[in-house]
Amino acid sequence: MKIDERHLIQLAAVVKTGGVTEGAALLGMAQPAVSRTLSMLEKRLGEPLFLKGKRPLQPTPLGRALADHGQVMLAASRKASDTIESFRVGKGGTVRIGGTPFFMDALIAGMVAEFQNQHPDVRVDQSYGYFPDLRAALKADQIDLAICPIDILDEGSGLEFHEILPGRNVVACRVTHPLLLKRRPQPMHLLDYPWVAPPPGSPLLADLRSMLLSFGATEIRIRYTGGSLMSVVNFLKGSDALTVLPHSVVFAQRNEKSITALPVNVPHPQRALGLLKRADAPRMPAVDHFARHVQRGFDNLKHLIKRHEESVVWGL
């Protein structure tokens, strides 16, 4: 015998509240409609659902068993309604983000924590990649949002890019590096030291080669490569090696007092860090909220980074 789930939900509401009027109010229904449902259900089953003459209403064993099933459905229905409402206002769901490793570790991870303090029911799935991989992941619907540096999008790419920070590289070193003792270190002085190469695939690797060529280098003394941001920072702390990093990444390490930027002007990349998404992506309120959170975070960071930059006496 197939029973309409809605009838079981109405039965559960009446059992829960102890009265037809109260049960109808719980469901936002009219009392006569619920009464008709219960009468029809008893007639179809050939069994009473409530004990006669009891107030508040008390279910029979069959009525209790069916009401238990209805209560499960009622709870599931309410949970589904809460999920829909949370999704609509961006308080629930999953945000899938991908980004370049150094930026994600230095800046975005902290912003994710701040976001989840405000939206505890939103899950954030993070992955790493560089622009070609992130572009492919967006098009394959594997991520909702990419956070990466790019120069320009191809026409007809089907992607939207919103800049959050202009590109600026610096030469990074430990805070006790010998070059910091020079009043105005010159580019040629940097060629006397070994270098840490960014991971393969990183645009910073091309930036490093371009920068050293502009300094007159004929070869690069690479002593460490392929590490995570934490391993690069720890390597720099224990050696006289140098590396090229986005200024914002070095800025994010300022409170650790482990690495800093050399006051030497270096060529800056013609690209910017930004948020990348599919132009035809369906609206996802939680993703929109997260994107705005990151945008606000970088709006605040821009002023702090600029102040930090102006506090350094850059070499000529």
Q: 190 with 274: CB under 8 angstroms? A: no
User: What are the distances in angstroms from CA 251 to CA 126, 195, 219?
Assistant: 22, 20, 29
Burial annotation 230-261 (CB, 10 A radius, 16+ → b, else e): eebbebbeebebbbbbbbbbbbbbeeeeebbb
Q: What's the pLDDT at 233?
A: 95
Closest CA to 137 of 279, 278, 315: 278
Please give the distance of CA 45 from its chain centroid, rounded to a whole number: 53
Q: 279 with 205: CB under 8 angstroms? A: no
Name the residue type at position 170. V
Identify any residues that bridge with 172 across adjacent strands, giving them in sequence order: 243, 261
Backbone angle region of 90, left / alpha / beta, with phi > 0 → left and psi within -120 to 50 → alpha: left
Examine the pLDDT at 316 and tell me if it is beyond 50.
Answer: no
For the residues 132-154, what does the mean pLDDT come to?
93
For the residues 288-313, what does the mean pLDDT come to?
84
Q: Residue 293 — very low, low, confident or very high, per pLDDT cuts 50/70/90?
A: very high
User: What are the distances in angstroms from CA 293 to CA 63, 127, 138, 250, 302?
Assistant: 51, 19, 20, 22, 14
Q: Which residues contact 191 (CB under 8 A, 6 or more apart)?
A: 212, 215, 216, 217
> d(Cα 164, Cα 305) in Å, to the nearest integer?
13
Token pair, residue 15, equals 């059992």
> Hey, is 114 helix, strand or coil?
helix
* Torsion angles phi and psi, residue 125, rounded to 5: -105, 120
Q: What's the pLDDT at 281?
A: 86
Closest CA to 247 of 226, 232, 262, 231: 262
Q: Which residue has the higher pLDDT, 311 or 24?
A: 24
Q: The whole model's pTM is what? A: 0.71
CB-count burial class (<10 Å; 0-12, 13-18, 19+) for 42: middle
> d(Cα 98, Cα 143) in Å, to the nearest integer?
7
Q: What's the pLDDT at 90?
A: 63
Examine the pLDDT at 108 and tell me if it is beyond 60.
Answer: yes
What is 217-279 written as a DSSP string?
Answer: -SS--EEEES--HHHHHHHHHTSS-BEEEEHHHHHHTGGGTSEEE-S------S-EEEEEEET
Examine the pLDDT at 315 and tell me if it is beyond 60.
Answer: no
For the residues 282-296, what does the mean pLDDT come to?
91
**By mean pLDDT, which of 67-71, 102-106, 132-136, 267-271 is the weakest?**
267-271
> d(Cα 198, Cα 276) in Å, to the nearest integer?
23
Average pLDDT, the chain: 89
Q: What is the pLDDT of residues 225-236, one digit of tens each?
A: 878 999 999 999
Burial annotation 61-72 (CB, 10 A radius, 16+ → b, else e): eebeebbeebbe
Give the 3-state secondary structure percentages of the chain, helix then strand then coil, rounded to 5. 50, 20, 30
Q: Which residue has the higher pLDDT, 75 or 316?
A: 75
Examine the pLDDT at 82 and tell me if it is beyond 90.
Answer: no
Q: Residue 86 — very low, low, confident or very high, per pLDDT cuts 50/70/90?
A: low
> d(Cα 209, Cα 232) in Å, to the nearest integer?
18
